[in-house]
Amino acid sequence: MQTALTTALPDIIQEMGVTANAGQWLTSGFSLAMGIMIPATAWLIQRFPTKPLFITSMFLFSAGALVAAIAPTFVWLLIGRITQALGTGILLSLTQVVILTIYPQAQQGGMMGIYGLAASAAPIIAPTITGLLIDYMSWRIIFWFGLGVALVDIIFALVVMKDVLPTRREHFDWPSFLLVSAAFTGITIGFGNLGTAPFLSSGIALPLGVALLMAVVFVWRSLRIEKPLLDLRAFRNRVFRTAVILSVLMYAILIAASTLFPIYVQTVHHLSATVSGLIMMPGSLLMAVMSPITGRLYDRFGIRPLVLTGGTLLLVSSIGTSFLTIGTSVAYLTAVWTIRSAALACMMMPIVTWSVTQLSGGAIASASAILTTLRTIAGAVGAAVMVALMAFVTKQGHVGQPAVASVGGMNAAFMALTVLASVLLVISLWSVRRNKAVEGE
């Protein structure tokens, strides 16, 4: 659901009668709400039993899907999306913590690889499914479909789930929660307004300034109190610190590319949402197949070979999309996107698993929340910045040749993603050590 509306936004904007800037909040608002909810999940996991917490998250998701499916106005649709995001925020961290707690370290890579079938492949597959649905039915079917899956999920959970994580009574750190919420909101609003206002305007500089101030106060407070909302002392661990940096870069590239690619296919090539989705389908299928395999490879060989392979493939695919033309073939686009998907399969879940190899108990919940929160916000910011860059370069392009101008803007955005991919690969070469024994030193 985080990326499902990428190809449906034009239809929603037209039906609801809103601007493109307002419509984009259906995506960025979802990421923001999810990013705000995830830090609280570290406390929820320790406070409430596993099964009721999981079912509660799915009920929130279901309620949001229902509201969005029947929404009479854009405001109600946005409320539905935000409610969905609250449930998703709980679900993502909870699932990772359960897997990393109940399995020994030697099996964590394989199990996280299986989990990666959903967490890694779903954001890539979603635009494909959406494209097929909206070309033949209303965009509302997306939410009815999500509601159906969620209800089936709840039934399975009632039957088979158990309470597997220890609980204890802990005070909830409301001041820190409000600080981190304000910081993430400021970041999302500030970067979301890029391209619609001057950088030093109140619409951009003010929310970013407030976000920076709130973030500084949050970090200062978290390092001074005994039981903070998020235990930032995890950053003292070199492995975790490196994993967070790699995940932030990777998610910024992933969400930005997932947003830009359908726009290029539909606006430059004038292909349908269905074709746009089908171009991405081989990569999605490859990613789903590779996730369990890369998990097993992590258990056997450690993180370094996977990250270097994934980083190299990601750089190659980013370079491959930096020189597009109005005549670039569909076969080429499919091949480049498939390479990108293979790169993400090599890195996404193995990096999450690697990030907590030095941690245990409650520290895993906090570390998982930190990692998931930062990469979620990075995805939203990455998409906003790259779309703004694309729009800016397009406006400076060939007058009277909108397709050529659009390609120029798209290439500029993908060149920027190539720079991020290069940074990711350099960090991998420099900071990711050869095997798990060494990594633990």
pLDDT tens for each residue of 227-237: 888 888 888 88
**Within a domain: 1:** no
Q: Are residues 134 and 181 in the same domain?
A: no
Cα–chain center distance at 254: 8
In whole numbers, what is the pLDDT of the chain averaged over residues?
85
Q: Are residues 130 and 251 in the same domain?
A: yes
CA-wise closest residue to 344 among 282, 286, 430: 286
Calculate mean pLDDT across residues 337-363.
Answer: 84
Band of pLDDT at residue 349, cut at 50, 70 and 90:
confident
Band of pLDDT at residue 21, cut at 50, 70 and 90:
low
Q: What local confidence, expressed as pLDDT, does residue 401 receive?
A: 65
**Within a domain: 3:** no
- List CB contacts of 327: < 8 A, sequence separation 6 or more: none
Statement: the pTM of the whole predicted model exceeds 0.85: no
Q: Are residues 85 and 70 in the same domain?
A: yes
pLDDT surpassing 60 at residue 251: yes
Between 264 and 157, name the one with better pLDDT: 157
**Within a domain: 140:** yes
- List CB contacts of 270: < 8 A, sequence separation 6 or more: none
Sign of torsion over alpha carbons 354, 359, 365, 371: negative
Q: What local confidence, expressed as pLDDT, does residue 437 receive?
A: 39
**Within a domain: 4:** no
**Within a domain: 148:** yes
Continuous segment of H or E residues that includes residue 137: none
Domain that holds residue 180: 173-228
Phi, psi angle pair for 379, to nearest 5°: -65, -45
- Highest mean pLDDT: which range of 236-250, 256-270, 279-293: 236-250
**Within a domain: 195:** yes
Q: Are residues 105 and 184 in the same domain?
A: no
End-to-end, the C-alpha distance of the chain in Å comes to 39
Q: Are residues 339 and 417 in the same domain?
A: yes
Q: How many CB atoms lie within 10 A of CB 172?
A: 12
pLDDT tens for each residue of 175-233: 999 999 999 889 888 887 776 667 677 788 899 999 999 999 999 999 888 888 888 88
Number of domains making up the chain: 2
Q: Are residues 262 and 191 in the same domain?
A: no
Residues composing the chain: 441
Q: What local confidence, expressed as pLDDT, does residue 165 receive?
A: 85
Q: What local confidence, expressed as pLDDT, does residue 26 receive?
A: 85
DSSP secondary structure of 190-244: HHHTBTTB-TTSTTTHHHHHHHHHHHHHHHHHHTTSSS-SS-GGGGGSHHHHHHH
Q: Are residues 59 and 134 in the same domain?
A: yes
| Residue 226 exposed, middle or buried by CB count within 10 Å (0-12, 13-18, 19+) | exposed
Q: Are residues 212 and 344 in the same domain?
A: no
CA-wise closest residue to 233 among 217, 219, 214: 219
